[in-house]
Amino acid sequence: MLWLGMVLAISFLEAPLKFRAPGITVPLGLGIGRIVFKALNTVETVLAALLVLACLVLAPGTAVWVWLGIAVVVLAVQLVVIRPPLTRRSNQVLAAGEDLPRSTVHYYYVGFEVVKVVALIGLAIVAAP
Do 103 and 84 form a contact (C-beta atoms < 8 A)? no
pTM value > 0.85: yes
Q: Count structural domains, the chain.
A: 1
> Mean of the per-residue pLDDT values for the chain?
92
User: What distance in Å separates the CA atoms of residue 19 and residue 6, rounded to the nearest whole number?
Assistant: 19
Closest CA to 16 of 31, 4, 33: 33
- Lowest average pLDDT, out of 4-13, 14-23, 76-85, goes to 14-23
In tens, the pLDDT along 66-80 reads 999 999 999 999 999
Do 103 and 86 form a contact (C-beta atoms < 8 A)? yes
In tens, the pLDDT along 88-109 reads 888 887 887 666 777 789 899 9
- For the segment 109-115, the average pLDDT, to the nearest whole number, is 96
Domain of 60 in residue numbering reads as: 2-127
